[in-house]
Structure 1
Amino acid sequence: MPPVPIADDLFTWPDDEPRLIGGRCGECGAYAFPLRTGCPRCGATAVERTLLERSGTLWTWTSQGFLPKAPFNGRFASADPFEPWFVGVVELPGQLRVESILVGCPEDGPAIGMPMRLVTMPFRTDEDGREIVTFAFTPDDSSPDEGDLPVSPRTPGEADHA
């Protein structure tokens, strides 16, 4: 069975270069994610479906150091033993900030201001055995500003140390 996205109209799927699907207000120009029927800034209903930028800059981050409460059921939420993962806010240039899981970051944590790009990742397997995928951001190795940061292959739920 092919993988399926965690929700419809959240990101382009299937896509080798996924984009988040947001909205842009026709009245005030504000962006929103996820796509909504009304503008969160001015309340207008003239919101147009918009593909958001694929790359951005890490605005802030933290480590998710505790098991999420139910009904969360992602693959890394029930890992035994529990392993923390990174969560951050990525600023998409000229648009908005998006909260996301961060993958592929240096073991000691990402750096605020580092270039990031959108990827998809396995989230869980549903009752029918289908893989459910979600979006995440990862350091953008193609950026000339990133330098030679050591990047671990860590994904949520994997141990930090060998």
Structure 2
Amino acid sequence: MENSNERVPVQAGLFNWPEEPHGLIVSKCSTCGELVFPTQDYCPECCTETMETTTLTSKGKLKSFTEITAPPPGFKGTIPYTVGIVEFPEGIRIIGLTTENTVESLVPNMEVEVIINTAFADDEKEYVTYKYKPSK
């Protein structure tokens, strides 16, 4: 049965959506080049307010991952789930959910792509977030 609820991001400004290809939105310091996720107004590296918004490429390499079987308080998603740290070609590493429920199909340095997928739903809305999906 298809969910007919309104689809909304879990938080605005994390990823471009519904545009494709999907990419994570970061701040880049025009003074020192530091990349920051999620976006912010000041650079944590050189302490200037010279941040510009840019979107990362949609593919990266899975550097580390783990399976979560005991979720944090308030978690509304499916259990078990996996999280991973992905390194993007631009040089930043970002943690996020993967599309896999267990770690069996994940391997270090595998290529993954950013997709937009359901995080959870309630009676009124379907909340979407970015996830890392193994590239085939």
TM-score band by shorter chain is 0.7 to 0.9
Q: How many aligned positions are there? A: 132
Point out the more displaced range, 13-22 or 23-32: 13-22
2:112 alignment partner, SS class: strand
- Does structure 2 retain, via aligned residues, the 8 Å contact 1:116–1:140? yes
> Shift of residue 6 of structure 1?
0.9
Q: Which runs of 4+ in 1 moved over 6 A?
A: none
- Does structure 2 retain, via aligned residues, the 8 Å contact 1:105–1:139? no
> Shift of residue 56 of structure 1?
0.3
* Equivalent residue for 2:34, pick from 30, 33, 42: 30
For the pair 1:6 / 2:2, whether they are aligned, the reply is no
The letter of the residue matching 1:89 is I
Q: Encode CA deviations 1:119-154: one digit per residue, 9 max, x unaligned.
A: 011112246x1111011001112xxxxxxxxxxxxx
For the pair 1:74 / 2:42, whether they are aligned, the reply is no
1:62 alignment partner, SS class: strand
* Equivalent residue for 2:46, pick from 42, 49, 66: 42
In proportion to residue count, which structure has more strand? 2
Structure 1: tracts of 5 or more residues without a match:
77-82, 142-162
The separation in 2 between residues aligned to 1:37 and 1:107, in whole angstroms, is 36
> Shift of residue 107 of structure 1?
5.8
> Shift of residue 85 of structure 1?
1.3
- Aligned residue for 1:152? none
CA RMSD in angstroms comes to 1.8
TM-score (ref. length: structure 2): 0.88
TM-score (ref. length: structure 1): 0.75
Larger Rg: 1 or 2? 1
> Shift of residue 94 of structure 1?
2.5
The separation in 2 between residues aligned to 1:75 and 1:106, in whole angstroms, is 14
Structure 2: tracts of 5 or more residues without a match:
none
* Equivalent residue for 2:19, pick from 7, 15, 27: 15
> Shift of residue 52 of structure 1?
1.0
The letter of the residue matching 1:130 is K
1:39 alignment partner, SS class: coil
* Equivalent residue for 2:82, pick from 81, 86, 98: 86
The letter of the residue matching 2:60 is G
